[in-house]
Amino acid sequence: MDYYLNQICKGQNLNIEKGFRKLGDIKRKIIEAKQRDYMERKDIAWFYPSRVEMEYLPLNTTLIKISFRLARPYISRDDSEIYTTSEERTLENPIARDKLTGLPMVKATGWKGHLRFSAEKIKGEEYKNCREIIKRLFGDSDKEGNSNKGRLHFYPSFFQRKVQEDILTPIDRRSRKASKLINIEVIPQGSQSEFYLLYFPYLLSIEEIKEDLSFLAEALKLMFYTYGFSAKKSSGFGIIHPIKDNDLEVYPERFKDYFSVLLEPDQGCDG
């Protein structure tokens, strides 16, 4: 990015601040063009697994699809730190966007990290072998080298609603006073998207599969209703409205009962 910023500044005689604004403006126009192109063609869902494709996968492979609506805003961090709004204000913390369509998104790696965080919060009373199940589902941790990828395959989720601007006011822990204001982008409350998760149970007995799915449902419940799947989740970001029965699809359907705990959360937000 420094290279492109340098070229813009050199080619147009701009200082660094104006160069940032110019580069951010170029990025915003490219993203808006991609979003318009997608809205005309509506083909973003082609890479999600379908029920027809599931017929070709090994026995007991399970697809979970959840249509959800945000009860709290969602925030994330894009790879780029440069973005300008249509009013030409520079944002220091733009939302993560898909490089192909320009749509705001939750990355597959983000889903995996947040769900693993929630899984590790499950108490051991019912599941005495939590660590073993977590390793089966998510694979090795970064510290372990990632040789085992786990039995869960994650997909990104996209939001079609426009993002909004917001301001975070960090509090200094020592002085307890507000520090520098931070301009951010958020996906607003009420935005809708779809969550896809594929469970691929190779070399497992049916009893282990049942244990995995039951544990997975509890982890999803904690992520969606208690801990959230957003940056700043300790502040309540990234929580969803309760899931209704027609919002939850599980294939094969015989496994749907394991995920019924998502329909009646103990903790969550009222409609």
Label residue 271 by pLDDT band (50, 70, 90).
Answer: very low
pLDDT at 9: 47
What distance in Å separates the CA atoms of residue 79 and residue 37, rounded to the nearest whole number?
22
* Residue 133 pLDDT > 60: yes
Mean pLDDT over 123-151 rounds to 81
Mean pLDDT over 138-148 rounds to 73
* Residue 239 pLDDT > 60: yes
Output 129 or 174, whichever has higher pLDDT: 129
Q: What is the pLDDT of residues 67-126, one digit of tens each?
A: 999 999 998 876 555 555 545 555 556 788 887 777 889 999 999 999 999 999 997 767
Mean pLDDT over 218-229 rounds to 95
Across-strand partners of 182?
168
The residue among 222, 216, 224 whose CA lies nearest residue 195 is 224
**Looking at the chain, which runs of residues are DSSP E strands?**
62-69, 105-106, 152-154, 157-158, 164-168, 182-186, 192-199, 248-251
Q: What is the pLDDT of residues 47-64, one digit of tens each?
A: 788 888 888 888 899 999
Domain boundaries defined on the chain: 2-262
The percentage of residues in the chain with a pLDDT greater than 70, rounded to a whole number, is: 63
pLDDT at 43: 59
In the chain, helix, strand, coil percent, each to 5?
40, 20, 45
The percentage of residues in the chain with a pLDDT greater than 90, rounded to a whole number, is: 39
Neighbours of 201 (CB within 10 A): 19
Label residue 268 by pLDDT band (50, 70, 90).
Answer: very low
pLDDT at 2: 45
The overall average pLDDT reported for the chain is 78
**243, 256 contact by CB (below 8 A):** no
Q: What is the pLDDT of residues 8-22, one digit of tens each?
A: 445 555 555 665 566
Mean pLDDT over 136-163 rounds to 83
Mean pLDDT over 19-28 rounds to 64
pLDDT at 8: 46
* Residue 244 pLDDT > 80: yes
Mean pLDDT over 212-237 rounds to 89
